[in-house]
Amino acid sequence: MVAFVVTVTAAGGVTGQVLGYGGPGLVVAAVVAGAVAVAAWGKSDIVVVRVSQARPAGEVDCARLHNLVEGLCVADGLPKPRLYVVDDRAPNALATGRDPHHASLVVTMGLLERLNRVELEGVLAHELSHVKSYDIRVTTLAVTLVAGPTLVSDLAVRWRHRTAPGRPDEPEREHGRIAPLGLLAIPLLAVAPLVGRLLRVAVGPRRELLADASGVALTRYPPGLVGALEKLREGATTVRAATRATAHLWIAPPLGRDSAEGRGVWLDRQFDVHPSLEERISALREL
């Protein structure tokens, strides 16, 4: 957070000098950077949940999810996180928040439908390991502080597609108002490869491997997570609501990895910080 404030303030100061604003430009940049950092600390997890189009997991329709999470939290001495589901057939999950008392766990309906009890328990234990180790603090703040420009560009593109001319479900008057958002995405996409590299430094693949090991230490049953990862490897884990800015949060890559899964795959790969599923499965089998 300090690095973010210093970097933005310095950039604002230089810009102010070039434009002739001098000291006032530096002050404005510092105030804006500080405000964004404070907002990121308190609201980044809410941003992740809303961008992922998640809804609260009902205790009746998602009883197995609540039951497993409650049992794991008791066993690991963690407070129960807020639980959400995404209406997507792809099996995937993520954890977000700033600490165990302000954590949220998001799973897709595909994950709940495709995994059996021990496999689902393995995935949930993996995500709770991120919570216990405070990985979620770094990865969640990275969404807004590091990948903020990419998040804005992804949302701009999403809104542009939603309100594209010719859609019968959108009033014509909306097209002109939302169309400029598509133009906003172009300059922001230019910095996306750099943001992807910064995310690799801030997050990195080691966190996933450690969470795998910590998760099976909690369940004491490595085959559960191994079976889950094998099912993720066999099926597509691409989540429609996932963005490049939040890709590092998911347990498996949520973006397309080959041309058959959509355009922009090369750019998507710049945000893939996950080790290969084969590497993770091999490591777990040695336990």
Catalytic residues: 127
How far separated are the first and last CA of the chain, in Å rounded? 37
Contact (CB, 8 A) for 126 and 172: no
Secondary structure of residue 96 in the 3-state scheme: strand
Q: How many whole angstroms separate alpha carbon 284 and alpha carbon 161?
A: 41
- Whole-angstrom Cα distance, residue 130 to residue 145? 19
Q: Which of 28, 26, 33, 39 is nearest to 2 (CA)?
A: 33
SS3 content of the chain, % helix, strand, coil (to 5): 65, 5, 30
CB neighbour class for 19 (10 Å; exposed up to 12, middle 13-18, buried from 19): exposed
Which position has the token pair 């766990």?
Answer: 105
Select from 103, 102, 160, 158 the least CA-distant residue to 127. 103
The H or E element that residue 146 is part of is: none
Place of tokens 């133009």: 183
Contact residues for 39 (Cβ-Cβ < 8 A; gap 6+): 144
Q: Tell me the β-bridge partners of 103.
A: 97
**How crowded is residue 113: how many other Cβ atoms within 10 Å of its Cβ?**
9
What Å distances lie between residue 104 and 98, 112, 246, CA to CA?
9, 17, 14
